[in-house]
Amino acid sequence: MNFIHEFLFSIFTLSHIIKYTEAERNIGAIYDDGSFIYEAAFKVAVDMMSENQENPFVANVIKTSPGDIIEAENAMCTLLESNLYGVFGPIHSSSLRHIQSIADYIEMPQIIAEYTETQNRNWSAINLYPNHVAYSQVFADIIKTKGWTDFTIIYEGAELLPFSDNILTMQDLITDENIHMSVVQLSDSGDYRSQFKTIKMSGSVNYLVISGKENLPEILLQAQQVGIMSDKHSFLIMNPDFHTIDMELFKHGGSNITGIRFFDKNSENIQSFVNSVNEKVIELSEGTITEAIAEFGLSIHVALIYDSVFLYTTALNTMGLEEGSNVTCEDGDSWNLGSSIINFVRTMEVDGLTGILKFDEDGLRSDFEVDVLEVMSHGFEKVGTWDAEDGYVETRVIIPPVEEEGSDSMKGKHFIILTALSAPYGMLRESSNKLEGNNRYEGFGIELIEELAKMNEFNYTFDIQADGVYGSFDTKTKKWTGMMEKIMDGRADFAITDLTITSARQRAVDFTSPFMNLGITILYKKPSKQPPDLFSFISPFSLEVWGWLAGAYVGVSVLLFILGRFAPEEWQNPYPCIEEPETLDNQFTLANAFWFTLGSVLTQGSEIAPIAVSTRMAGSMWWFFTLIMVSSYTANLAAFLTVESKFYAIKSVSDLAGNPYDITYGAKKGGATYSFFKESDNLLYQKMYQYMDDHPELMTATNDEGLLRVKSEKENYAFLMESTSIEYMVERNCDVAQVGGLLDNKGYGIAMKKDSPYRQPMSESILQLQEEGKLTRMKDKWWKEKRGGGACADDDASSGDAQPLVLANVGGVFIVLVAGSAMAVVCAFVEMIFDVWIISHRNKVSFKDELIAELKFILSFSGDTKPVRHRESTGSKSTKKEDEEKIGDLEFNGDDNRIDPAPTPHSERSSHSNHNVHSRRQSNAIQIARMRRFT
C-alpha cells in the first residue's frame, strides 16, 4: 500500500511539473496597491491572448505600495522565480525607474504603457506611449492649420513640458511669419483664476493647455468663470483622454475647443474591452467597485495595457518561445533570450486599440495616427486626422461665414459644374427627343446637384470632362491634370462624380463633406458551383465528430457486454421449465452487444432487449444519444444535398496577392485606387503595386473596361476598384461579384477651389440630405432601380454553404451519454453486490468468498454461460439431470397417455455425450412439464 501511495504522489508531482514547465507561460506585472483597474485590464488582456492557446499565458500580478522601491524590487525578484517571460509596470515613476535598472541589468524585457522621461535611454524598456517629440508635432501641425500666430501655452507641471518641444521651436522653423507665444505654469494651489485674469488682460485668445485628465475639467471651469471661454477664444487640449471628459458645461459657450483621440470609445472593440474590465474589477474588488470605467474613465493608459499585452504575446507566439527566463536576483546573470525578444518586438507592426503599434529605429513609438475632434453643441465631432506621413488632414472644417448672407451667398448665382460620364454618377439621358442643356444628363451626381441647387437657390450648367481624367499631380510638369486642373484654374466652380477625397487632392482644392463613403475592394467572377461529391453523405459531420461517434459506438458496446456480466438479472435460465438449472445464459455476448448498439444507430432495433436496470439505463442513454445524432445527421444531410457548394478561387486581397490560380489583376490607370497601392507602406499592398507597375498591360483606362476583362472567358482577371462602383456593376452583371472586404475607408466629395466660401453651405446641405435619408433613397434609385438595376437581386439567394457539425454542436449529447453510462456502471455494481449478499445469506456461505468467486467469473470473460454454484435438490424438486433421465423412461402420445419405451441400460444412458443432452433439452421441455403432472 505504501508503494501505491508513493507512486500516486510521484505521478501527481510530475503532472504539476509538466503543467508548470510546459503549459504555463508566466507574464509578470507590478502595479500599485489599490489600482484595481490596471490589474483588471492586464488580466483581461492576458486572458484574451490565451484563448485557444495550447500553452496559455498566465498573468502573475504583484501589488506594491505606490513609490516603495524596496517592495517593487522584492516583487521583481519574486516574479523572476516563476519562469518569467516579461514584466509590465510599475505605474509610479520612482518604482518604474528602479525596476528599469534591474531589467536592464538582467536583460529582462519590460513593457511600459506610461510616459517616462527615460523612455529613450533604457534599452530593455519597450514603451508603447507615443514619443513626446512626435506627439508635440501633432499639435504644432494643428496650430499651423488654424493659423495661430499669437497663443499662450498653459501647462500644469514641469514633467509635462517636454510635450511642447516642437511647438516651442515653431518660431525657428517658420521664417515668413512672426509667431508670438507665452508660457504660463499653473500654480499648485488649485486656484488658477488670478493667472487666467492676467492672460485675459494680455489680449491672448488662443490657448494650448497641457494638463492631466483629473484637473482638466477644473481648469476649463475656472477659465469659463474668468471669461476667457467665449466665441472669441480657442482652446487646444493636449491631453489624449480629452474625449472621455464630460464637456456638457462648455459646449454651448461658443469657444472652439479642439483635442485628439487615439481610439473611439464607442467602437465595438472598445466597448467589449470595457465590459470585460468592469467585470474583472468587480471580481477583484469583491464588489466594492461596480463600474470601473464609469468611475475612472477609459484612459489611454488602460487601453495601452491591452495593446502592450497584445503586442508582446504576439511576439512570443511568433517566435515560438516555450521557455521562460531562468535568472534570479541572487545569481546576477542575464537572460540570454531577452535581447532577441526586445529586438523582435521593436520590428513588429500590429493594429491595437490605440491604432498601429510600431517603433522607429530608436525603439520609440513615433509613427501613429490620431483623430482630431472639436466640441460642438451636439458633442464631439471628428474634423480631421493626423499621421506621421501626411501630417494634419482636415476631413470636415466648419468655415465661418465670410459674407453676411451666409448660406444665401449662393442665391441667384450661376456656376459651372464639371462632371464625367461615369455611371451611375453622370450619364446621358435616354430619350427619343432631342435634349439640350442640363436635360441631356442624369444620374446620382446630377440629381444631387439638383437638390443642392434647390436648397441654396443657385443656377448651374454642366460641363463634361471628355477624357474622363479626374486629376493627379504630374511630378514631371509639376502640374495637376484633368478635373483638378480646371477647378484650380477657375474654369469650373465645382466638380462632382466618383471623385475620391485624398490628402494630395485636398492640399490642392477644397472638398465638401463626403456624400458617399466607400473603400477599395475586388471585382471578380462569381464563385463556380462545385460538382456533387460522391461521398457527400459523410459531409454532415466533421471528421472529429465521426471519430467520436465511432468511439462512442465501440465504448457503449463494450460497456453493455461488461454490464451484462455484472448484472445478475441478465443471467437467465435458458429453459424456464427447469426450476433448478445447472447453468445460466447471458444474451449480451460481445457480438450481441455490438449488434444491439448498431441496430439502435441505424434505427432498426434488434431481437435483444436489456433486462437489468443497469443495462436498461445504458441502453436508454444510447437510444437518446442515437436519437439526437441521427436527427442532427438527417437535418444537416438535407442541407448538404440541397445547398450547392461554391468554389472560391480568392476570398481576400491576400489570396489575390498570393495568386494560387494564376489570376492577373489591375486597376484604373492613374486613378485613386492605383495611387492607394502606390503610396501605401503596407508590405502586401506594396507587393501588389509592384506587380501592377511591372505589368502595365493589366491596367485599364476605365472601370467598364475592367468589368469586360473580368467577364472575359479568355482571361482570368480581377479588377480593383471602389466598392460603390462594384455594387453598381454587380446589380447589373450576374456573373461577377464583390470579393473580400474593404481595404481602406474614404469618401466622394464635391471639389471646389481652395478657400472657397461655398464649402460650408454645400457641406451643410449634404449633411441635411443625409439626415433626412434622401441620399440613401437616391442611391437605391440609381443603383437598384434605374438602368437595369436589381436584375441580380434574387440570384444566388442562399446565405452560404452548409457547414458540417463539429463537436461543439453535439458535444452535450456525448456528455449525457457518458453520465448515463457511468450511472449504469454504478447500478450494475450495486445489483451484483446485492445479488451476492442474497445468495450468501440464502445458502449460508461467506459473503466475501461468494463475492470473490463472482468477480473471478465476471472478469474471466469466459463465454455467455454461467454455472449455478448453489442449487436446491431436496423435497419434491428434481434436478435437471434427473428430469432428463426420466425423459428416457417416459414417452407420451398426443393425448398425454404414457407409453412404455424399450428398456435402456443405465450405463448406455450415462454414456451419451453432452451435445446430445443439450440437443434434447429444448425438444423435451414440453414433455418435462407433462411428466410433472404424474410425479
pLDDT for the residue 15:
39
The rounded distance, in Å, linking the Cα atoms of 128 and 96 is 15
Least confident of 295-309, 677-691, 702-716: 295-309
Q: Region 551-580: what's the mean pLDDT?
A: 79
**Residues 214, 212: Cα–Cα separation, whole Å:** 6
Pairing between strand 479-480 and 125-127? Answer: unpaired
Mean pLDDT confidence for 225-236: 85
**pLDDT 10s digits, 140-197:** 999 988 889 899 999 988 888 888 888 888 766 555 567 888 999 998 888 898 999 9
Report the residue count for the chain. 935
C-alpha cell at 69: 522601491
b/e 279-291 (16+ beta carbons within 10 angstroms → b): ebbbebbeeebee
Q: For the segment 522-539, what is each residue's pLDDT rounded down to a tens digit?
A: 998 887 665 556 566 677
Highest-confidence segment of 64-68, 269-273, 507-511:
507-511
CB count within 10 Å of CB 782 equals 23
Cα three-residue angle 657-663-669, rounded to 5 degrees:
75
User: Taking the mean position of all CA atoms in its chain, how far away is CA 304?
Assistant: 19
Peptide bond into 66 cis (omega under 30): no
Mean pLDDT of the chain: 79
pLDDT band per the 50, 70, 90 thresholds, residue 566: confident
- Is a pLDDT exceeding 60 seen at residue 9? no
pLDDT of residue 285 exceeding 90, the answer is no
Q: In this predicted model, what pLDDT tens digit does every residue of 723-751 receive, in sequence order?
A: 888 888 888 888 888 888 888 888 899 99
Contacts of 741 (CB under 8 A, 6+ apart): 519, 521, 652
Task: Flag whether pLDDT at 414 surpasses 50.
Answer: yes
Angstrom distance (rounded) from CA 810 to CA 24: 30
Helices and strands, number each (H, E), in the chain: 32, 37
pLDDT at 622 over 90: no
Residue 376 contacts residue 386 (beta carbons within 8 Å): no
Q: What is the mean pLDDT of residues 830-851?
A: 78
pLDDT tens across 578-591, in order?
777 777 777 777 87
Helix axes 543-566, 590-601, angle to 10 degrees: 130
pLDDT tier at 483, thresholds 50, 70, 90: very high
Confidence at residue 547, expressed as pLDDT on a 0 to 100 scale: 86
Q: What is the pLDDT of residues 773-817, one digit of tens each?
A: 899 999 888 888 887 777 675 444 444 555 665 566 556 666 766
pLDDT score, position 766: 94
* 589 or 514, greater pLDDT: 514
> Which cell numbers in the block locate residue 47?
486572458
Contacts 24+ apart (CB under 8 A), 861-865: 861/565, 864/585, 864/586, 864/587, 864/588, 864/589, 865/583, 865/584, 865/585, 865/586
Q: pLDDT value at position 863?
A: 63
pLDDT at residue 512, rounded to an integer: 93
Residues above pLDDT 90, as percent of the chain? 18
- Please check the confidence at residue 764 and state whether its pLDDT lies above 70: yes
And the C-alpha cell for 147? 493659423
Per-residue confidence (pLDDT) for residue 113, from 0 to 100: 85
Q: Of 250-264, 605-619, 635-649, which gets the smallest average pLDDT?
A: 635-649
- pLDDT (average), residues 690-710: 90
pLDDT tens profile 261-280: 998 888 888 888 888 888 88
Residue 417 has pLDDT above 90, yes or no: yes
C-alpha atoms less than 13 angstroms from C-alpha of 172 in its C-beta half-sphere: 5
| pLDDT, average across residues 550-564 | 85
Q: What is the arithmetic mean of pLDDT over 388-403?
A: 67
State pLDDT tens for residues 642-660: 665 565 678 888 888 877 6
Percent of the chain with pLDDT over 70: 80
Q: What was the pLDDT predicted at 818?
A: 78
3-state secondary structure of 385: strand
Calculate mean pLDDT across residues 334-358: 89
Mean local confidence (pLDDT), 748-775: 92
| pLDDT computed for residue 34 by the predictor | 67
What three-state secondary structure class fits 133? helix
Q: Is the pLDDT of residue 206 over 90?
A: yes
Secondary element (H or E) of residue 480 = strand 479-480
pLDDT for res 612:
81
Residue 931's pLDDT is 44
- The stretch 570-577 carries a mean pLDDT of 74
pLDDT for 177 equals: 64
Which residue, among 715, 716, 720, has the nearest Cα to 688 in the 3D structure?
Answer: 720
Q: Looking at residue 928, what is its pLDDT? A: 46
* pLDDT confidence of residue 537: 67
> Which set of grid coordinates corresponds to residue 353?
486599440
User: In sequence order, what E strands does 723-827 have?
Assistant: 736-739, 746-748, 751-752
Mean pLDDT over 897-918 rounds to 41
Which among 583, 591, 565 has a CA at the least distance from the CA of 865?
A: 583
Question: CA distances (Å), 731 to each of 365, 430, 649, 691, in order?
Answer: 45, 20, 21, 30
